[in-house]
Structure 1
């Protein structure tokens, strides 16, 4: 691959990674019913509304899940992969590309949760610093994952082991779910 192709790959991953992050965060924050008036939520709504609002007219929400947002994130992931394939001079089959986009999106959400758990652990070392608007959002996003584990796991001397167990479960999900899906998608994309 040439230097220009490498640079193109970096740019594609950066631009689409940022767009997917905005959409996924919006979907997740809506799922946990984050405070709409939080400045970060306001930014996410303003950044994603121009695309999501027209899409919502066609694709309704289901329970607490913004299906239009999930569809948009999946489409962005599929477009990113298609551009990366095009940059490499490969024309993938659409079924494989669709499966790869699902795997890529699931992997992204799992990686995002790994990062959020690390940030939550770091925030626990500085308990007085809770004024920033992102702090309650991090807790709201990670609570649905950590609270069930906190009920199961005993607290030993004030230490909370639920983040480590959650990290392990996420890693297992990446290995046992995302990677096989990605391999399946790659095989289908090549026509194998």
Structure 2
């Protein structure tokens, strides 16, 4: 029976992760003012707008941050945690679940940017077409994080700024998100 629960948990994580990723892409694309004429940007907009349009009436943007998309990402991660706990036959307390879901949100955002920066730098190293929609969107999303260190981490003609930013994001996962996840787990356990 635990094998079936593990498989079901994995499927739930994939489904909620896909939803969170779609809305995180919308959040990052809007925040970086990614090219709307990009077919990938249009796809993201088309499939997130029916959910975000009503929420944005109550929760408008703050500067360039789409708070409605951030709320949907957080709610999807909260529901994922809740469903997995319920599958295990455990009803978590609200404070622990809220802390865990906020830690999940922070960890998810950090991991999202690690994947975007790594994917973009890999595509550029492989000399992918710079006008390809994925390269353009990933480049637009990665640029705000890379801009502060770009050009400062050069060795010859190689720019190591993506490596430095990924290391900083990995450290943030280890030193900020992981302790917050541990704290939320302790709250859920009641310890």
Same fold (TM over 0.5): yes
Q: Which residue of 1 aligns with 2:123?
A: 123
Instruction: Return the alpha-carbon distance in structure 2 between the equivalents of residues 51 and 191 of structure 1.
Output: 35
Q: Which residue of 2 aligns with 1:48?
A: 48
Question: May I ask how many residue pairs the two structures share in their alignment?
Answer: 191
Q: Which residue of 1 aligns with 2:176?
A: 177
Instruction: Return the alpha-carbon distance in structure 2 between the equivalents of residues 179 and 167 of structure 1.
Output: 16
Deviations 1:20-43 (A, max 9, x none): 000111001100011122111111
Q: Which residue of 1 aligns with 2:162?
A: 163
Instruction: Return the alpha-carbon distance in structure 1 between the equivalents of residues 4 and 150 of structure 2.
Output: 49
With 122-131 and 86-95 compared, the bigger mean Cα shift is at 122-131
Instruction: Return the alpha-carbon distance in structure 2 between the equivalents of residues 98 and 82 of structure 1.
Output: 10
Deviations 1:39-89 (A, max 9, x none): 111111111111111111111111111111111110110000000111111
Instruction: Point out where structure 1 has 5 or more consecutive residues left out of the alignment.
Output: none
Instruction: Return the alpha-carbon distance in structure 2 between the equivalents of residues 44 and 120 of structure 1.
Output: 18
Please identify runs of 4+ aligned residues in structure 1 that moved more than 4 A.
none
Question: How many Å apart are 1:120 and its aligned residue?
Answer: 2.0
Instruction: Return the alpha-carbon distance in structure 2 between the equivalents of residues 132 and 146 of structure 1.
Output: 20
Instruction: Return the alpha-carbon distance in structure 2 between the equivalents of residues 158 and 14 of structure 1.
Output: 39
Deviations 1:84-115 (A, max 9, x none): 11111111111111111111111112112111
Deviations 1:109-168 (A, max 9, x none): 2112111222222222233522321111111111111110115x2422111111111111
Change (3 A) 1:128 1:90: closer
1:177 partner SS: helix
Q: Which residue of 2 aligns with 1:8?
A: 8
Instruction: Point out where structure 2 has 5 or more consecutive residues left out of the alignment.
Output: none
- Tell me how large the CA RMSD over aligned residues is: 1.4
TM-score between both structures, scaled by the size of structure 2: 0.94
Change (3 A) 1:14 1:154: closer
With 130-139 and 18-27 compared, the bigger mean Cα shift is at 130-139
With 99-108 and 124-133 compared, the bigger mean Cα shift is at 124-133
TM-score between both structures, scaled by the size of structure 1: 0.94
Change (3 A) 1:172 1:20: same
